[in-house]
Amino acid sequence: MSNDSTYVDAVADVLASHRRRAFLAFLTQELSIAGRENYPQAGEMDQDARVARFASLNEAGHVLGAQLASDAGHGTGYPDTAFAEAFLEKARMYESDATAVRVCLTRALERTSAD
């Protein structure tokens, strides 16, 4: 997927479907897996890049957490059409291209379509 509108449309579609819970669960797993790549023993990454990537994943995780809490009846989440935009926007606050978060979205969408 190359641009934000592709993500936004694909995510909105899956969130409006019976696959919503599976997608959000897969996205949670993908964020956690991506976070492991920030561990110092995971390989070479300079400290600034490591912190930026972690912060990007963490902010995306906050958006995801708000959505899950809202789905469980606690708080306000995002409309299906705005979730991916908010997810990417928060991630870009620390990692300008939101690469790690984009990979997580792509993998979660792939896993959901295979489910």
- Could you tell me the residue ranges of all domains in the chain? 4-114
SS3 content of the chain, % helix, strand, coil (to 5): 75, 0, 25
Mean pLDDT score, 55-81: 93
Instruction: Kindly report the average pLDDT of the chain as a whole number.
Output: 88
Average of per-residue pLDDT across 40-62: 82
Mean of pLDDT values over 92-102: 85
Q: CB of 46 within 8 A of CB of 86?
A: no
pTM over 0.85: yes
Is residue 66 exposed (0-12), middle (13-18) or buried (19+ Cβ within 10 Å)?
middle
Is 90 exceeded by the pLDDT of residue 16? yes
Q: Span 14-26, mean pLDDT?
A: 96
Q: pLDDT class for 42, splitting at 50, 70, 90? A: low
Query: How does DSSP assign 11-46, residue by residue?
Result: HHHHHTSTTHHHHHHHHHHHHHHHHHTTSGGG----
